[in-house]
């Protein structure tokens, strides 16, 4: 995750162009392999076992390795080995930048210090960011928000990473009095806690990519199908969150998702999640 956060910062500072980022990401992605593929390659799991774990990730808010351990397909030592083989995405990004001759290591270190100072991050914060661990990164950006909101944000981002786009990343949240949207797919949740989970963006280029990835379709030809898929995704996120809350005896009731395809003003919302190709946004 921090590879995309830092890449976006470098672009905003004029250190890398959009084309630079596309080229760097292409190099980086060519080297990144999903954990299941590595497990099969290392003959630790069968293709059938990997597919089963992938399917379970659609209904369980758990990492691939955790599910594989629970199913008895891998042990903790094997998962640790696979994670080492997969590598850290931030380090892979840095390596791609340097190898491509876009910036030197000294340039990157200087920009990293600048990024830390501008955001008032501690050394501990920076180590958490570089780990690319979602559970360690979420509190850095949502430190002033409730534990419930942080947990919902974590579930949302983990689900996006697993089912839609592993390049998803988070930026600082904003409190808005009003919000203009072209498309809004939302679901209200009530019970012991009440909140609204929503996704918004440009249906022609932003949300359709999310819908296609989530639905596993080759193409989605109309706005209505895009909205339907996104409403299902919102329902999936809240369902995972509600299941986790129920295990703690917290009552969460979900209303039917609602999708709207017209520009109008919404009530105050916090937008949390960004996902990029470079850099398509999902709020």
What does the pLDDT read at residue 203?
A: 67
- Backbone φ and ψ of 254, nearest 5°: -110, 130
C-beta of residue 24 within 8 angstroms of C-beta of residue 93: yes
Instruction: Kindly indicate the confidence band of residue 263, based on its pLDDT and cuts at 50, 70 and 90.
Output: very low
DSSP state of 6: H
pLDDT tens digits along 12-58: 999 999 999 999 988 887 777 678 888 887 889 998 999 999 888 87
Q: Which of 37, 46, 38, 34 is nearest to 71 (CA)?
A: 46
Q: Where are the alpha helices (DSSP H) in the chain?
A: 2-12, 18-31, 35-41, 47-57, 64-70, 76-86, 89-99, 105-118, 123-131, 134-141, 147-163, 207-215, 223-246
Is the pLDDT reported for residue 10 higher than 90? yes
Is the pLDDT reported for residue 261 higher than 60? yes
C-beta of residue 243 within 8 angstroms of C-beta of residue 140: no
pLDDT tens digits along 143-193: 878 888 888 999 998 888 888 877 788 888 888 888 777 788 899 998 888
- Residue 263 CB-density burial (10 A; 0-12 exposed, 13-18 middle, 19+ buried): exposed
Q: Where are the domains of the chain?
A: 2-132, 147-274
Instruction: Kindly indicate the confidence band of residue 221, based on its pLDDT and cuts at 50, 70 and 90.
Output: low
Residue 217: other Cβ atoms inside 10 A: 12
Q: Does the reported pTM lie above 0.85?
A: no
Enter the tokens of residue 168. Answer: 């998803």
Instruction: Kindly indicate the confidence band of residue 126, based on its pLDDT and cuts at 50, 70 and 90.
Output: very high
What does the pLDDT read at residue 270?
A: 42
pLDDT tens digits along 226-235: 888 888 989 9
Cβ neighbors of 73 (< 8 A, separation 6 or more) are 39, 44, 45, 49, 53
What does the pLDDT read at residue 265?
A: 43
Pairwise pLDDT comparison (120 vs 271), residue with the higher score: 120
Instruction: Kindly indicate the confidence band of residue 273, based on its pLDDT and cuts at 50, 70 and 90.
Output: very low
Is the pLDDT reported for residue 202 higher than 80? no
What does the pLDDT read at residue 226?
A: 82
Rg of the chain taking only CA atoms, in angstroms: 19
Q: What is the percent of the chain where pLDDT is above 70?
A: 90
Which CATH entry fits the domain spanning 147-274: 3.40.190.290, 3.40.1550.10, 3.40.50.920, 3.40.50.970?
A: 3.40.1550.10
Instruction: Kindly indicate the confidence band of residue 269, based on its pLDDT and cuts at 50, 70 and 90.
Output: very low
pLDDT tens digits along 56-90: 887 888 889 999 999 999 999 999 888 887 777 88
Is the pLDDT reported for residue 268 higher than 50? no
Rounded to 5°, angle at Cα 162 from 160 and 166: 70
16 vs 273: CA distance, rounded Å: 22
Pairwise pLDDT comparison (210 vs 153), residue with the higher score: 153
What does the pLDDT read at residue 71?
A: 93
71 vs 80: CA distance, rounded Å: 16
Averaged pLDDT, 116-135: 91
């Amino acid at each position: 995750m921090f590879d995309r956060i830092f890449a976006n910062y470098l672009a905003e500072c004029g250190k890398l162009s959009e084309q630079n980022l596309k080229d760097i990401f292409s190099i980086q992605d060519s080297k990144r392999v999903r954990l299941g593929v590595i497990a099969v390659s290392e003959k630790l799991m069968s293709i059938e076992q990997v597919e089963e774990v992938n399917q379970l990730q659609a209904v369980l808010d758990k990492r691939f390795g955790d599910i594989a351990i629970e199913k008895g397909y891998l042990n903790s030592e094997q998962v640790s080995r696979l994670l080492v083989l997969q590598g850290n995405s931030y380090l892979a990004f840095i390596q791609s930048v340097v190898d491509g001759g876009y910036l030197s290591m000294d340039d990157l270190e200087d920009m990293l210090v600048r990024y830390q100072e501008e955001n008032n991050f501690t050394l501990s914060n920076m180590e958490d960011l570089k780990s690319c661990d979602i559970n360690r990164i979420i509190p850095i950006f949502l430190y002033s928000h409730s534990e419930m909101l942080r947990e919902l944000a974590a579930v949302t981002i983990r689900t996006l990473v697993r089912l839609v786009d592993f390049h998803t990343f988070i930026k600082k949240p904003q409190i808005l009095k009003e919000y203009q949207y072209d498309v809004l797919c939302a679901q209200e949740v009530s019970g012991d806690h009440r909140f609204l989970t929503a996704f918004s963006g440009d249906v022609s280029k932003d949300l359709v990519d999310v819908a296609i990835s989530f639905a596993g379709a080759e193409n989605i030809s109309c706005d209505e199908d895009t909205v339907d898929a996104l409403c299902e995704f919102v329902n999936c996120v809240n369902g995972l969150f509600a299941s986790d809350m129920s295990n703690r005896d917290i009552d969460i009731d979900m209303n039917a998702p609602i999708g709207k395809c017209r520009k109008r003003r919404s009530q105050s919302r916090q937008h949390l999640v960004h996902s990029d190709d470079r850099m398509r946004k999902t709020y």
